[in-house]
Amino acid sequence: MKVLNTDFSTFLIRTILGIIFLAHGLNKIKGMDATIHHFQMNFGLPIYLTYAVTLIEVVGGALLVLGVFTRIASVGITIVMIGAIFTVTWEKGFINGYEFDLALLAMSISLIPKKSKLK
């Protein structure tokens, strides 16, 4: 029973995280010119980084929803969230700042499987 609960909770985390990132990435694509302008003007980030973040969000989110290449997608999302926390939300503080990003970061890290040693 414990394996079933663990599998289901991992499924929920993976699927919901994937939906969140897929939706955010598609929203960035929908208004890509505005997204590029926003990243440059508000955060001083170069255009290539805007495209990279958007690509990771869309592809990573889709992979998580589909349940394939979960580890690779989670690593990409982890990197994006670390970047988002330190470039966008850190200065706002915890409340109404980086708390949501921190939760997404924890979710993405939880999906990166740890190597276990069989005894």
Per-residue pLDDT tens digits for 83-99: 999 999 999 999 999 99
For residue 8, being part of any structural domain is answered with yes
Examine the pLDDT at 119 and tell me if it is beyond 50: no
Domain extent, residue 71, equals: 2-110
| Residue 115, domain member (yes or no) | no
Closest CA to 112 of 70, 81, 83: 70
Q: How far is CA 47 from CA 14, 17, 32, 55, 83, in A?
A: 29, 25, 10, 12, 15
The whole-number pLDDT of residue 115 equals 61
| Of residues 26, 4, 72, the one with CA closest to residue 12 | 4
What local confidence, expressed as pLDDT, does residue 65 receive? 97
Nearest alpha-carbon partner for 64 in 26, 25, 16, 31: 16
Mean pLDDT for the chain? Answer: 92
Average of pLDDT values for 16-35?
97
Q: How far is CA 108 from CA 1, 13, 45, 78, 105, in A?
A: 24, 8, 23, 6, 5
Q: Does 117 reside within a domain?
A: no
* Number of compact structural domains in the chain: 1
Q: Which residue has the higher pLDDT, 8 or 77?
A: 77
Angle made by CA atoms 78, 59, 80, in degrees to the nearest 5: 25
Q: Is residue 44 part of a domain?
A: yes
In a domain, 33, yes or no: yes
